Amino acid sequence: MQVRTYCRICEATCGLIAEVEDGEVRKLTPDPEHPVSRGYACVKGPAMLEVHRDPDRLGRPEKRDTHGWSPVSWDSATRDIGTRLRAILDRHGPDSVAVYIGNPTAFSWALSLFGTGFLAALRTRNFFNASTLDCQNKFVVAERMFGGYVIQPIPDLDRTHFFLCLGSNPVVSQMSFVAMPRALERLRAIVARGGRVVNVNPRRTETAHAVGEQVFIRPDTDVFMLMAMLRILFDEDLVDRAALGRCDGVIELRQAAMRFPLAEAAAATGVPAETIVELTRSFARAPSATAYCSTGVNMGSSGTLAFLAVQALNALAGNLDREGGARVPSRALGLARLARWLDRLRPPKRSRIGGFPVVATSLPTGVLADEILTPGEGQVKALFVLAGNPVLSAPGGERLRRALGSLELMVSIDLYRNETGAMAHYALPATDWLERNDFPLTQVGMQPEPYAHLTPALVPPRAERRNEADILLDICDAAGLRMFRVPGANTVLRRLGLDRLAPLVAKVVGVPISASRAGAPVRLDDAPAGEFLRNVPTTNGRIQLAPPDIMQDVERQSARLRHEAAAPPPLRLIGRRQRRSHNSWMHNLPKLRPQGDECWLSVHPLDAGARGLTDGVRVILSSANAKLEVPLKLDEDVMPGTVSLPHGWGHGGGAGWTVAARSGETGANVNLLAADGPAALEPLSGMARFNGIEVEIQAV
């Protein structure tokens, strides 16, 4: 039997066809009739079948004690967790329990919702989301600028004449905050119809090799170029008149932009002044244009102001909500309403350490270790990790690992016992997406071509794997907690079940999922261009170009600009996503592991030569925070002054994935070089800083 389903590894959510026989999935192949992905899937989607069958997967709940790990029954695990959780809550109060949710949560409607319900039940402020490792800056800006953190304008690639792409590598990643498979094809079509694709990046990426123009920029300097572009827009009177009528804060933004003179911006970024001017003029004069930034910019030291500048550029050039510009899918507004309702269930308290405000319900993961290690009222004593691996994915992983070791209770709910789960008292086995029903929930706010797709669970869960929603309901029962803090909710939710709940939740965000009852994805209409601008959910219905708290960063960035224009640092580190891996968790599949070392440091021949280093040598890569030993590869694709190392490596540490931890191939955990703690984070959003870290290299 063939069942139409979709991949839930990344935002592209590509359609797949599953061959199901005798209660087993035999094969996963791209779905040629999917209305959006139309037969595309990357190497990871079909490889999920290997994850499903992986002998290293958790099959039963496991408990760690002084003798190591041993299997236990679900009943004994939930009862013990519930009792210990209750005791910690009673003794230390709600903030003593923390929850970290990882990236895969965004691809399960049930986990996103029940995870929030669990948080509400706990009443804790201590919620940490992987979003504070990759995109929290975008949430801060969208909240202030557009009236809701999920309101994220997406580039209308299929109609645009100019795509300005900062800090993304669509060919490898399929981007983020856009549910848009077939990125390469869409980019090539822009050029084919006479438009431009401009890749602003310290590395000539796989994308830039395939399509468009390359503009090399020094790591962590995009904000200077973007603010200088805004200044040119104002100075040369390139601002769209109609746009001015819809925006507040134009004068304040203009004053801010004046602090970023072209000559200094050019000196600091390494982008020639003529290029910045030419890009600005072409962007403003193109029939339609769209600026977009992703993790390369988000993970710098000024991602919030930089993203505000990106959206201001879109708005002021008249491209916000224009065909071919930056569009907000209409269902993002429904999602924003749901998010606002859920937000009210959380205490709006600041973090105890660093005083960071809650953004998009989350506090910065970069203070989690401190929240655990610092004694006092509200100290974290228990932690639930849902679908995450912060020991490898968060800054200062080793410090976090040690902090986890001091917890009174730690529970990891995951497909595997990963490096984080290795520190837990319980590792609980979750179902994967072949074993659960789903529909794209978070993604409805990011689909340029919206569609509804309700996929059933393809097969029953293997071994004793369970859906996270059921696990969390049982833990709530055992600890005397009510999901969503609503009396009777546990019973009602359990009785309704996930099959009946899914369509109800879909309806709330405006997705007529019943259209997809027969299991086929159904293309939906979207509101026409211009509709969003008539319905901006800010208090006065206008776009806010200069939110005061974000503008506070202007002073800091203009001081940094003067400093860096005078003396750019000699060597900065950036990341490098890889086709065959997904953050830290697809390294255990023999099929996806080509021979040899994948975790090498890219160094430009000029930088290597200046230090007497040659191809293939092992080097010490050091930051102010740590030192790593890594193999060096000469690479002319990185800009001189930039070195690049992928993240998600450094396996071992008691994790249960035997292939990933094979000796000699575990790679190095790049995030040891990144600092955690309040002073190390981007102050406005609490985002971790992974890009632009100042480093040095020397021979071993």
Ligand X SMILES: Nc1nc2c(c(=O)[nH]1)N[C@H]1C(S)=C(S)[C@@H](COP(=O)(O)OP(=O)(O)OC[C@H]3O[C@@H](n4cnc5c(=O)[nH]c(N)nc54)[C@H](O)[C@@H]3O)O[C@H]1N2
The pair of three-digit structure tokens given for residue 145, joined into one six-digit string: 């600028």
Q: How far is the CB of 274 from ligand SF4 (least distance, A)?
A: 37
Q: How far is the CB of 507 from ligand SF4 (least distance, A)?
A: 25
534 burial class (0-12, 13-18, 19+ CB within 10 angstroms)?
exposed
User: Considering beta carbons, is residue 211 or 493 the nearer one to ligand SF4?
Assistant: 211
Q: What are phi and psi of 21, to 5 degrees?
A: -140, 135
Q: Which of 4, 5, 9, 619: binder of ligand SF4 (CB under 6 A)? A: 9
User: Considering beta carbons, is residue 379 or 671 the nearer one to ligand X?
Assistant: 671
User: Considering beta carbons, is residue 181 or 366 the nearer one to ligand SF4?
Assistant: 181
Q: Is 642 helix (H, G, I), strand (E, B) or coil?
A: strand
Q: What's the CA gap between 609 and 632, in Å, rounded?
A: 12
Kindly state whether residue 45 participates in binding ligand SF4, applying the rule CB under 6 A. yes
Kindly state whether residue 592 participates in binding ligand SF4, applying the rule CB under 6 A. no
Tell me, letter by letter, the H, E, C secondary structure of 64-79. EECCEEEECCHHHHHH
Distances (CA, A) of 551 to 301, 508, 547, 591: 15, 35, 6, 48
Q: Which of 613, 617, 595, 591 is nearest to 604 (CA)?
A: 613
Task: Name, in order, each residue with C-beta under 8 angstroms of 559's C-beta and a sequence gap of 6 or more.
Answer: none
Kindly state whether residue 42 participates in binding ligand SF4, applying the rule CB under 6 A. yes
Q: How far is the CB of 446 from Mo ion (least distance, A)?
A: 13
Binding-site partner at residue 468 among Mo ion, ligand SF4, ligand X, none, CB < 5 to 8 Å by type: ligand X
User: Considering beta carbons, is residue 379 or 583 the nearer one to ligand X?
Assistant: 583
Q: Which of 4, 10, 415, 524: binder of ligand SF4 (CB under 6 A)? A: 10
Q: How far is the CB of 646 from ligand X (least distance, A)?
A: 8
User: Considering beta carbons, is residue 217 or 256 the nearer one to ligand X?
Assistant: 217
Residues numbered 159 to 178 that lie near ligand SF4 (CB under 6 A) are 174
Task: Tell me the H-state helices in 317-396.
Answer: 331-343, 368-373, 390-393
Binding-site partner at residue 41 among ligand X, Mo ion, ligand SF4, none, CB < 5 to 8 Å by type: ligand SF4
Kindly state whether residue 137 participates in binding ligand SF4, applying the rule CB under 6 A. no
Burial 546-564 (b: 16+ CB within 10 A, else e): bbeebbebbeebbebbeeb
Kindly state whether residue 120 participates in binding ligand SF4, applying the rule CB under 6 A. no
Nearest to ligand X by Cβ — which residue? Answer: 296
The pair of three-digit structure tokens given for residue 223, joined into one six-digit string: 């904000």
Give the dihedral sign, CA 476/482/484/485.
negative
Kindly state whether residue 458 participates in binding ligand SF4, applying the rule CB under 6 A. no
Q: How far is the CB of 9 from ligand SF4 (least distance, A)?
A: 4
Q: What is the DSSP letter of 63?
A: E
The pair of three-digit structure tokens given for residue 534, joined into one six-digit string: 């008539």
Q: How far is the CB of 637 from ligand X (least distance, A)?
A: 9
User: Considering beta carbons, is residue 122 or 333 the nearer one to ligand X?
Assistant: 122
The pair of three-digit structure tokens given for residue 409, joined into one six-digit string: 């209770």
Kindly state whether residue 448 participates in binding ligand SF4, applying the rule CB under 6 A. no
Nearest to ligand SF4 by Cβ — which residue? Answer: 45
Q: What's the CA gap between 386 and 412, in Å, rounded?
A: 6
Residue 175: other Cβ atoms inside 10 A = 26
Q: What's the CA gap between 689 and 700, in Å, rounded?
A: 26
Kindly state whether residue 572 participates in binding ligand SF4, applying the rule CB under 6 A. no
Q: Which residue has the tokens 């003593």?
A: 96
Interface contacts to Mo ion, rule CB under 5 A: 134
Interface contacts to ligand X, rule CB under 6 A: 10, 102-104, 108, 130, 133-134, 166-169, 172-176, 200-203, 205, 217, 219-220, 222, 294-297, 300, 386-390, 393, 413-416, 418, 430, 432-433, 468, 574-575, 577-579, 581-585, 647-648, 670-671, 690-692
Q: In the chain, how many H helices and how many E strands?
A: 25, 27
Q: Which of 18, 25, 36, 41: binder of ligand SF4 (CB under 6 A)? A: 41
Q: Which secondary structure element, helix H or strand E, spans residue 605, and what is its range?
A: helix 605-610
Q: How far is the CB of 658 from ligand X (least distance, A)?
A: 14
Q: What are phi and psi of 116, to 5 degrees?
A: -65, -40
Q: How far is the CB of 687 from Mo ion (least distance, A)?
A: 12
The residues that touch ligand SF4, with contacts defined as CB under 6 A, are 7, 9-10, 12-14, 41-42, 44-45, 174, 181
